[in-house]
Structure formats: C-alpha cells, structure tokens
Amino acid sequence: MKDLLEHIKETWETTQVGPENEILQNYGEQSKTLIIKYASILYIMGGFYTTMPVIVSRLYSLLPTNETYTARYLFRVEHVLDVEKYFNLLMLHAFVGIFFLISVWIAADGMFILCTQHVCALFEGIRYNMERLQGSDFMTVEPNIADDEAYHIIIGCIKSYKRVLKLVLVTSLNVEIHVA
C-alpha cells in the first residue's frame, strides 16, 4: 500500500498542469465522491443494525401487550452475561464495535476505490495523448527522432502504459495475497 500511495503521489507531482492534470483531478473528485457515498451508506446501515434491539425493546415497553419481552442483544452472549442487567453497556459496546468494524471496511474499500480510479485516470491520460497525436499533423516523411514530437508522444504513452500495467499487476497481486 505504501508503494501504491507513493506512486499516486509521484504521479500528482509530475503532472502539475495541463489536460492530464485535469483528468487526474476529475477522477480524484469522483473517487472522493464514491468513498463518501460508500462510507455514508455503510455507517447508516450500521446505525440501523445496532439500533434495532433498542427500538424493539422500547417498542415493547410502550405498547400494551400481555407478553413479556426479554431484551435481545445483537450477539449471542446470553450464556455469559445477563443481557437484561447489562443491556445498555452491551449496546454501547455494540455501537463502538460496529463503528470501528465498519471503519476498517471503509478504509480497505476506500483504498481499492482510490487505486481503481487512479488507474482509470492514467489510462484516460494515455487515451488523451493518443487522440491528440491522431488529430494532429505531426507526421513527417523523414522524421528526425530528436525533434519528432509524435515520436516522443508515442514513447511517453508506451512508458506510461507499462507503468500503469505494472501498477495494476502489483495492486492485483496485493489484493490476491491479502484475500487468500
């Protein structure tokens, strides 16, 4: 992950201006938006999950029923603790525990989203350069390699493509190693 983040930092430092910087900025904003939406959805769903026992116990205390309701906790701890006696402390523990568990998921998935968007931005930059080359009159019959702008653009695209493929390979290997 450290190498991956250093690569992203290096890419941002080398492309300070121009259309490629705008492409990186657009994909960076998309990445930020996706991570914020993802985090919001997970925290909201975690909030619903953890408040379910509290809502049900309050509902049973407010509604007049002939049944007795025993408080149910999120996890099976009835054989270890008295859930009714320690219900509030157990719920506090559940809120904090679920919050941190969801935070770990968000951090891992946020890195995956960041890496995916960064790689997409790099491929978009390569596509931009190739289209710029295609739509211009750079081609000459007998080019001088030192002064041939088209040649340097093509070489730059090839080097960028190799770097991006290496980044994708390293990222996918890290994901496979950590998943397995």
Domain limits for position 144: 2-179
User: What distance in Å separates the CA atoms of residue 86 and residue 98, rounded to the nearest whole number?
Assistant: 18
**Which is more confidently placed, 119 or 80?**
119
Q: What is the pTM of this model?
A: 0.75
Tokens of 18: 């121009």
pLDDT band for position 55 (cuts 50, 70, 90)? confident
The predicted structure's pLDDT at residue 33: 96
Contact (CB, 8 A) for 110 and 39: yes
CA distance 170 to 128: 24
Q: How confident is the model at residue 79 (pLDDT cuts 50, 70, 90)?
A: low
Look at residue 103 in the predicted model and tell me its pLDDT: 95
Residue type, 64: P
Give the single-character DSSP code of 81: S
Q: What is the pLDDT of residues 3-54, one digit of tens each?
A: 788 888 888 888 777 888 899 999 999 999 999 999 999 999 998 888 887 7
Is 28 exposed, middle or buried (CB count within 10 Å of its CB: 0-12, 13-18, 19+)?
middle
What number is the average pLDDT over the span 91-115?
90
pLDDT at 179 over 70: no
d(CA 4, CA 27): 16
Mean pLDDT score, 147-151: 74
Q: Is-contact 67 80, C-beta < 8 A?
A: no
Residue 169 has pLDDT above 70, yes or no: yes
In the prediction, which pLDDT does 104 show? 95
**Helices 87-134 and 149-179, axial angle in degrees (round to 10):** 160
How many structural domains does the chain have? 1
